[in-house]
Amino acid sequence: MRAFFVLLGISAAGLQLPAADAAFKRDQLTHRKVRAAYHDKAAAVRAAFAAAGVPFPNASLYFRAFKAEKSVELWAPPKKGAPYQLIKSWPICALSGTLGPKRVQGDRQVPEGFYTLDQFNPESNFLLSMRVSYPNKSDRILGDPADPGGLIYIHGNCVTIGCLPMTDDGIAEIYLAALEARTAGQREIPIHIFPAKLDAAGVAALQRNYAADSERLAFWDNLRPGYESFEKTHLPPHVTVAPDGRYLFPD
């Protein structure tokens, strides 16, 4: 991913998220591609929230990505503490690697697990991009100790080396929703990435197709409570990490 990081057109330091205030949005709007996204897509984003009966801007966004289904979902609540509503789903244009977690630099894998969007890049060579917080604590324990890889983004232009590539329309809408959430005070925007929808049919398919891969199946079994928790409550799960790298769901 390091070569791809250079292609994304940002410095090694990246564009770190500032404190929540109007200055963040003002800075973003100094960039031509962000202004163009607002011109082209602000109405569509507002309409998607309105159709779901959810206010916009909204400071409680939650993204879920499914590799087998090649989709990214955006959820948000109508009010604080209320069950989240599906706002919109976008197609993932392409995926490198296979189903399963990322564990080492250069494996071309898209990560699976529980992450946040922790950088905005308005000057990406792939239109717009946001960084996924891989490697997280679990990845650092279970992945290659010397170099688990990194620099994973959700971005436009439908090309990928371990990232989540969207259509240009899709990334513009996703970026605007996240930008407005960050401006409104959401310091952490979760994005949870699964191999597939971990319902009964999805788990059965994984068990059938990866019957000989007990390690991968055990990892997916560990992700499943997080998936099921949201399916039951429509509230993003609280996630921690055990000393052995397993995800824990204390709620």
Q: Could you tell me the sign of the dihedral formed by the alpha carbons of 42, 123, 59, 66, in that order? A: positive
Name the pairing type of β-strands 129-132 and 113-121.
antiparallel
Please give the Cα distance from 69 to 11 (Å, whole number): 33
Is 155 an active-site residue? yes
Q: Which residues fall within 8 angstroms of residue 7, CB to CB, at 6 or more apart?
A: 125, 126
- 3-class secondary-structure state, position 165: strand
Active site residue: 158, 163, 192, 238, which one?
A: 163
Residues 6+ apart with CB under 8 A from 232: none
Is there a cis peptide before residue 57, judged by omega within 30 degrees of 0? yes
- Which three-class secondary structure state does DSSP give residue 126? coil
The owner of tokens 């490697």 is 135
Among 31, 93, 155, 158, the active-site one is 155
163 tagged catalytic: yes
What is the radius of gyration, based on Cα positions, of the chain? 17
CB-CB contact of 190 with 136 (8 Å)? no
- Positive or negative CA dihedral for 227, 129, 84, 133? positive
- Whole-angstrom distance, CA of residue 236 vs CA of residue 225: 12
CA dist 186 and 176 (Å) reads: 13
Instruction: Cite the active site residues.
Output: 155, 163
